[in-house]
Chain A
Amino acid sequence: MTIQELDAIRKKKKPLIDVRRVVREQGEKLAAKTGYRKQVLVCGGTGCTSSHSMKVIAQLEASLKELKIDDVLIVKTGCFGLCALGPIMIVYPEGAFYAQMTPEHAKTVVEQHLVKGGSIVKELLYQGTVAKDGTIIPFAETPFYKKQMRIALRNCGVIAPEDIEEAIAAGDYAAIEKVLTSMTPDDVINEMLASGLRGRGGAGFPTGRKWSFAKASQGDVKYVCCNADEGDPGAFMDRSVLEGDPHCVLEAMTIAGYAIGAHQGYIYVRAEYPVAVERLKIAIKQAREYGLLGKDILGLGFDFDIEIRLGAGAFVCGEETALMTSIEGHRGEPRPRPPFPAVKGLFGKPTILNNVETWANVNPIIMNGAAWFAKIGTQTSTGTKVFALGGKITNVGLVEVPMGTTLREIVEEIGGGIPGGKKFKAAQTGGPSGGCIPAECIDTPIDYDSLLAIGSMMGSGGMIILDENDCMVDISKFYLEFTADESCGKCTPCRIGTKRLLQLLTKITEGKGESEDLVKIEELASHMKQSSLCALGQSAPNPILSTLRYFRQEYVDHIEKKHCDAGVCKALLTYSIDAEKCRGCTLCARNCPTHAITGKVREAHVIDKDICIKCGVCMQNCKFGAVVRS
């Protein structure tokens, strides 16, 4: 394909995309030009397909056909972000935001809204977009979206990711055109350096520097890799980018290939993400057909191609050297650095590896300039960051905010607070390698350096919100179970250290802790940080160290008072029956799996603590609130 042909596609499809970027009156005018009276965007991300958005699409198609409506376009997009309310569907040009759709609802929307002269079905909208007086608030102005700034996610939920022409119309592949026609490799690297973009995978290494090292490395063969092995449990930013806008990653890797002199790229993606893998495959196939990958891209003389490699479930493969070893087809064990991948990486050749979200920022930097990007965020952490908000938060989903946004803004405004009127206790960032941000630090700006200073880390972007019912010792134990399980076993400090830390934590949660255990934990943690081979072992103690820093009293209570305030650690709980409240209905005794409860009908019952296994069934069953946990 030539530049002229690329331009023609842009011209043809752009009005269609523009309708989705503006709302209301303007949108209606634009819509008239597209030939489609309405466009219905249905989320086809993993979250929404899991809650059956494909059935919604099927019903929409069937109902439209039945009513012979042919000027409504149905588009299967990537993630809109508000996963808790899935399946989500947006109707343009109005921008009507329908949530928790079912096939029945879809039928109603077709019959009442999508028909000629129809109007929005208010009852089915996301109620956050309906004001008290019944007027409809544009969804971009709801608290969830208002504070967000979408750069990496700019096309997610806007385009059909399986249609390269929509991606082109939305701006993808404009940057590769600009780079190949008007920039030298050095220009590209300087632009990346000036943007201040830092790796979004966790460590935050400046992307431009990485590229300049690889460019400086001698060698006829070099590689460009994309880390899409999103292993942090509770993080799904990269998956959403791949599902919503796979072409932006392909384009960015091609640009990097041009900058460092590489002609082959690899995307290492988790096999647990079938939807993302499928979309990537389609995207690569289409890009090759359109001459945007392969030989002589855009007729401008540069060759670059990309292959997909599937992971097979190993957390350590998110580490760069382990990932490359895995692409080479071996056990995914890390190796010592230096030599760094920029000198000796995949198959022994100079290689750059960036994470999906990092790649997603490349096109906007090239198109809008480094100066524009550097103005967003803070001085040392430029741009935006995508977070996967999860855990005890109302608006579970994907949010992208400028660096430097405070945790309070994310939790209280965007996230909509903690459900059930519970109290915010901490936010866990960085997953098994990260730490927690306690309630007293809720006004901390979220950027690389501020998080490090308070003992957490940015990580890849998982943000799990914890409330008063979560026990911090138990959370640490959860992460240690994870790292002990995922430690590859190559180096001793990590292999044995994670096991020993887990044993100590288990001992404490079982009520067998001794006061010197905390000293042992801290000593072992410091050894592991200093002597483990890769980031997995070096950062495995972080969840413990950061909870010890802010919630030390909880550990002390577990050890000295044998008490778990949150009521999570089973071994430390006792169940008893309040004789005053007990009516002797026998329901608890009949449901007790170990027959630990005795008592006559209409007389107060008693729990035998020696037999009780603390399952809590009695408490769930009691209608009079007579079972007490302490």
Chain B
Amino acid sequence: MEHCEACGTAEQLEKLQEVIASSKDTPGCLMHILQEAQAIYGFLPLPVQKVIAEGLNISLAEVYGVVTFYSQFSLTPKGKHRISVCLGTACYVKGSDKILAEVEKELGIKCGECTEDGLFSIDSCRCVGACGLAPVMMIGEDVHGKLTPEMVKGILDSYKKEDKA
């Protein structure tokens, strides 16, 4: 397993192997294993995909095909605080594109990127189902609703402060 040293700790690898061992006999388990793997590593780099392919005795191409098909799986690392701006219809008609632009401006990165200090990454998503609070963005597990562009800076600052404290 020399190829996994580049991307994680021995504990992470052990956890992954456990997940593979416990679910490899369930039909259709690949998605579940990938979701667990992403929870362990934060993203799905090629070496991790290789471990999964070997564990399930399927080709790496098949694993990679599934990883790249679903928007939730990521090949690149994400920030400590994952920002996800909802661009669903209800949020869009209430101006969520302006919220996204403001977040991008404030952090100096584009949607899909991660800040250099690894603190924030921005993604867009399609509907978190909190349409009553539109426009909405999620930071980690927290939902911030009824946003205006003016509110963005204060919200981001509160996360920065929390990290310093």
Contacts and interface: CB of A to CB of B under 8 A. Distances in A.
Size category of the binding interface on chain B: 35 or more
Contacts of A428: 89
B28 to A, nearest CB: 4
A478 B88 CA distance: 9
A50 B65 CA distance: 34
Q: Looking at B62, B72, B132, B133, which has the most chain A CB atoms within 10 Å of its CB?
A: B132
A329 B65 CA distance: 11
A380 B123 CA distance: 43
A372 interface: no
Contact of B27 (A311, A328, A462): A328
Interface in B15-35: 27-32, 34-35
B132 A396 contact: yes
A396 B143 contact: no
B31 A309 contact: yes
B57 interface: no
Given A235-B127, A315-B126, A329-B66, A50 B133 contact: yes
Interface string B113-151: 000000000000111111111101000010101000000
A271 B35 contact: yes
Contacts of A431: 89
A413 interface: no
Contacts of A231: 126-127
Contacts of A390: 89-90, 131-132, 134
Contact of B90 (A50, A272, A328, A391): A391
B7 interface: no
Contacts of A383: none
A396 B131 contact: yes
Contacts of B125: 272, 313
Q: Looking at A50, A273, A347, A488, which has the most chain B CB atoms within 10 Å of its CB?
A: A50
A537 interface: no
A331 B89 contact: no
Question: SS class of chain B's interface: helix, strand, loop or mixed?
Answer: loop
B133 A47 contact: yes
A396 B134 contact: yes
A315 B72 CA distance: 12
Interface string B28-60: 111110110000000000000000000000000
B11 to A, nearest CB: 24
Contacts of A273: 129
A332 B69 contact: yes
B146 to A, nearest CB: 8
Interface string A116-140: 0000000000000000000000000
Interface string A190-224: 00000000000000000000000000000000000
Q: Looking at B28, B72, B127, B145, which has the most chain A CB atoms within 10 Å of its CB?
A: B127
A50 B145 contact: yes
B28 A236 contact: no
A266 to B, nearest CB: 9
B133 A312 contact: no
A298 B88 CA distance: 43
A233 interface: yes
A292 interface: no
A330 B35 CA distance: 13
A310 B132 contact: no
A459 to B, nearest CB: 11
Interface string A251-279: 00000000000000000000111100000
A93 interface: no
A234 B29 contact: no
A390 B96 CA distance: 14
Contacts of B92: 233, 478
A593 to B, nearest CB: 10
A278 B66 CA distance: 25
Contact of A329 (B31, B128, B130): B31
Q: Looking at B30, B35, B88, B90, which has the most chain A CB atoms within 10 Å of its CB?
A: B90
Contact of B126 (A274, A397, A482, A488): A482
A77 interface: no
B93 A391 contact: yes
Contacts of B136: 50
Interface string A369-393: 0000000000000000000101110
Nearest to A390: B90
B9 interface: no
B35 to A, nearest CB: 6
B151 to A, nearest CB: 14
A272 B93 contact: no
Contacts of B130: 46-47, 50, 83, 236
A314 B29 contact: no
Contact of B94 (A86, A328, A391): A391
Nearest to A275: B129
Given A272-B125, A312-B71, A397-B132, A233 B88 contact: yes
A621 interface: no
A480 interface: no
Contacts of B88: 233-234
A311 B72 CA distance: 9
20 contacts: A46-B130, A46-B143, A50-B136, A51-B133, A233-B126, A234-B127, A236-B130, A236-B131, A273-B129, A310-B35, A312-B31, A313-B70, A314-B71, A326-B31, A330-B62, A333-B69, A347-B28, A390-B132, A391-B90, A464-B93
- Top 8 closest pairs, chain A to chain B, by CB: A83-B132, A233-B88, A390-B90, A312-B70, A50-B143, A329-B28, A234-B89, A329-B30
Given A47-B129, A47-B131, A396-B90, 10 more contacts: A46-B128, A50-B130, A86-B133, A233-B87, A236-B129, A312-B70, A312-B71, A313-B125, A391-B134, A478-B92
